[in-house]
Amino acid sequence: MAAHVHEVLLAEPRGFCAGVDRAIEIVERAIRKFGAPIYVRHEIVHNTYVVNDLKAKGAIFIEDLADVPAGATLVFSAHGVPKAVRAEAARRGFQVFDATCPLVTKVHVEVAKLHKEGYDFIMIGHKGHPEVEGTMGQLSEGIHLVEDVADVERVRLRQQERLAVVTQTTLSVDDAAEILAAVKRRFPQVREPKKQDICYATQNRQDAVKVLAPQVDIVIVVGSPTSSNSNRLRELADRLGTPAYMVDDPADLQSAWFEGRPRVGLTAGASAPDILVQQVIERLKALGAAGVRRMPGVEETVHFPLPKGLGDRSMGEAPAA
């Protein structure tokens, strides 16, 4: 391969967030403690490498609880589940470990609390995404999805005196702000979350791309096509005028992308493991990259405890079964 690349700039922060780290740890510990197979509803996080690795260790990924046998141990993915799924799992007596990110659960709790106070909701998010299905599925009615500004104009509400807005945690910060502004124009009395629902990890990774993209000729995002937050990173770089590609597998990298683009920016979605970033770096070195420079950025110290019954991370290994 011809050598095109001169330098690699690494976005900071990038890659695993605290919710993903916890979700993967829950599946690994459940396998160690209870033995394979462990059933997981939906991809634990939207990453091909992570899912294949856990399959090899004894996880079975399913979408429908009908595919889970009696007596099984079941893990809910980081994206959360509708209330009906939780109820079904309880009814069928599965041992459940909930890997829903605590920051997604926080949105569910807010929806339930305000619903009791008589609120209806507008949810900003992507139709069909499991997190949106989980959050909307906290209620049987009175929650309306908007994907863009045009949708805001189309919403028909049964009442608007008590109206609150919630969002998916992994949206484009800028798009969400624009949609929220449209919601507020149409429904000025709408109640906003105390702190926005877009999570710290989504915010920080997008902020890092805003710093990175103007300094490079091309941005590579490590992430899977199903990953909302990873797609938003690629799209953001592109919107800033820097050509950007997302790669699920480092082998997908094409040397032609780098022709006439010697400075490469590299980042990874919240569900993309560091091993893939390292493999991309190796490939970029083979294309001529002499060095890797880490960009300055915020340090993340967020850490979520594990659910009861799987051991305490500060105590090391989960107890043997």
182 near 152, Cβ under 8 Å? yes
> What is the C-alpha separation between 273 and 279, in angstroms, rounded?
10
Place of tokens 């569900």: 271
Reply yes or no on whether 259 is catalytic. Answer: no
Three-state secondary-structure class, residue 191:
strand
Three-state secondary-structure class, residue 8:
strand
According to DSSP, the residues that pair with 264 across neighbouring strands are: 8, 218
Q: How many beta carbons lie within 10 A of that of residue 190, not counting itself?
A: 18
Three-state secondary-structure class, residue 249:
coil
| 248: contact with ligand 0K2 by CB under 6 A | no
Tokens of 250: 């480092």
| Short-list 223, 226, 227, 263, CA closest to 242 | 263
| 289: contact with ligand SF4 by CB under 6 A | no
Cβ-closest position to ligand 0K2: 227
* Residue closer to ligand 0K2 (CB basis): 266 or 289: 266
Place of tokens 């989504």: 202
* Residue closer to ligand 0K2 (CB basis): 190 or 229: 229
Q: How many beta carbons lie within 10 A of that of residue 45, not counting itself?
A: 30
How many residues make contact with ligand 0K2 (CB under 6 A)? 18
Interaction partner, residue 18 (ligand SF4, ligand 0K2, none; CB < 5-8 Å by kind): ligand SF4
Active-site residue identified among 131, 235, 282, 300: 131
30 near 97, Cβ under 8 Å? yes
| 218: contact with ligand SF4 by CB under 6 A | no
| 131: contact with ligand 0K2 by CB under 6 A | yes
| Short-list 221, 119, 206, 121, CA closest to 169 | 206
Q: Least distance in Å: CB of 19 to ligand SF4? A: 2
| 123: contact with ligand 0K2 by CB under 6 A | no
* Residue closer to ligand SF4 (CB basis): 78 or 124: 78
| 143: contact with ligand SF4 by CB under 6 A | no
| 229: contact with ligand SF4 by CB under 6 A | yes
Binding mask 190-209 for ligand SF4 (x = CB under 6 A): ---------x-xx-------
| 172: contact with ligand 0K2 by CB under 6 A | no
Q: Least distance in Å: CB of 168 to ligand 0K2? A: 7
Binding mask 101-120 for ligand 0K2 (x = CB under 6 A): x--x----------------
Residues 6+ positions from 165 with CB-CB distance below 8 Å: 121, 122, 123, 124, 180, 183, 190, 191, 192, 193
The residue from 167, 170, 172, 231 that contacts ligand SF4 (CB under 6 A) is 170
Instruction: Give the N- to C-terminal CA distance of the chain in Å, as an integer.
Output: 51
Burial (Cβ within 10 Å: 0-12, 13-18, ≥19) of residue 142: middle
Q: List the interface residues with ligand 0K2, window 68-87 (CB under 6 A).
A: 78-79
The site for ligand 0K2 (CB under 6 A) is made up of 19-20, 45-46, 78-79, 101, 104, 131, 169-170, 227-230, 269-271
Question: Which positions are catalytic?
Answer: 131
The site for ligand SF4 (CB under 6 A) is made up of 17-20, 78, 101, 103-104, 169-170, 199, 201-202, 229, 270
